[in-house]
Chain A
């Protein structure tokens, strides 16, 4: 969204817009009423003056006297302002300064004189039959037009600046509020992306609602940081308290294995036991890691990397293992590099977990394909196998920690591979989706949507 649109949508601007609109309506109403009243008064004044004129003419004793009076008045009257016309029943103009003709589109007024001039503009007229002829007296309605002009000017020079001031004030207020809100927004997104030290900048002296929300956000962040610290500490303590004994166990098993003269059988047992300690550690490691990832920890170290290169490396790494089981691990990559921002080690673990999962839960000899493709804005990394798949109702559950399908209880694995993969995907803003490849399981990791 453009900045202007964001600003327009912000609540202070909208409030000031509403206020301005209300102000405009109120002002327009009161101006309208005064205009109406003033217009009426003026209009009445013109009509009354016409009626007085007419009464004056009516007082003449004869047609000739009327004509003389009309002519006398005409001599002093500007036809643009006042029209007089007295005509006999035949239509011939006896006296006056104008001829009024009815035409299709209305009336036409032509000023009589040395050179007839057509008169434009609105007139208010009054006609009466006096002494057998038709006398028409008309006065220009220009004062009414001028009144309208004046009112329009009032609107232009008082109302418009007021509206402009209201809008400008609203925008300024909105920008101030937007700055405070932007501070809260950036802080919140920094907090969500794992920067737990982020705080809303405090403006001393401000007591507004936004400042108050800012302080609440900071208190919340403080509490979150503390509980995260506590969790980290607990994880570290557990790791230390459990891994150190495991290390001791491994050391002792190693010494046992290295003891000279140990029967071969005992040596093999010690070797198996050593392998087991490694299994325990990796389960344990995965659990700690998922906890850390779900906290949203280390995005600070993300860097741009090419998923194509990573996928190719891991296809190569697992190819021998696949070959040993008589499988084909195929790789399909797009032409262009697929750049994402992330942690190479973690994304490598994600890939390793998905491939291992496919190798582990499918029959020997079946094919596994690893592919990367672009779809619109998104880059999709898929691992597809031809195994038994995962029933739809179980798909949500396998992403949970330590959940294993009933039939997988006997296969090796910690039940953490997919949940670790999902946690890593989540940290990278990617979605991990499971679907039916008919037959087999298809895992899509959708980046960048």
Chain B
């Protein structure tokens, strides 16, 4: 993937760019808002990573200008702010995702991957499959190797979310947002607990693990 990083901080910018390159992406780094705007409109990027506070042109105005000009490239906003309204302001300006500093690189990488493939979401499907696991979204039925599995509503949502994003890592905070509808991290092990319950129902009785733990990042179902 071709990614543009617009970040003025001399440590964070290069670190993010280097990390993305290590993951096999092409990453360009610019350090001010005006340059970022020029670069984002000039070249064809798959994802933009934009710091909110930038010299010459701040991140919010930058993204508003881009959206106004019809540039639809998915964008993640990085910010040191995390006030009550800041997140919503960022999303309203046209950002697709929002990440508060300090963040772990794994979190950013997972969100970049999620954004890049967003249009590919299989929203229309009514039956999701992974190996011999089948989830019927209409009848709310889960079976594996033809055997029916009883899931609680939250476990069902968690499984559905992971299946819809097969092959992509979902971090704790992404799961909290999607499954529990919470946009802050309550610092509990609720995600881990639910993953473990889900495994005990979906994986353990069948002797093979569909739900993988990605160290330092999150969880995924291989696809």
Contact = CB atoms under 8 A, between A and B. Distances in A.
Interface of A: 235-236, 239-240, 242-244, 246-252, 254-255, 277-278, 281-282, 285, 288-289, 292-293, 297-298, 301, 313-314, 316-321, 324, 343-346, 348-349, 352, 356
Interface in B80-127: 80-85, 88, 101-105
Interface in B44-101: 53, 80-85, 88, 101
A317 B186 contact: yes
Given A239-B80, A344-B181, A324 B9 contact: no
B101 A244 contact: yes
B180 interface: yes
Nearest to B154: A316
Contact of A348 (B182, B188, B189, B190): B182
B206 interface: no
B208 interface: no
Contacts of A314: 186
Nearest to B84: A298
A247 to B, nearest CB: 4
Interface string B7-30: 001011001000000000000000
A255 B9 CA distance: 16
B188 A321 contact: yes
A270 to B, nearest CB: 12
B12 A320 contact: no
Contacts of B85: 297-298, 301
A247 B9 contact: yes
Contacts of A250: 102-104
Contacts of B12: 244, 247-248, 251
B183 interface: yes
Contacts of B103: 247, 250
A251 B15 CA distance: 7
A343 B84 contact: yes
A317 B180 contact: yes
Interface in B173-194: 180-184, 186-190, 192-193
Contacts of A298: 84-85
10 contacts: A240-B81, A243-B101, A244-B12, A289-B83, A292-B83, A297-B84, A297-B85, A316-B180, A319-B190, A343-B84
Contacts of A320: 188-190, 192-193
B102 A255 contact: no
B102 A352 contact: no
A31 to B, nearest CB: 69
Given A248-B9, A278-B102, A313-B181, A255 B84 contact: no
Contact of B190 (A246, A254, A281, A317): A317
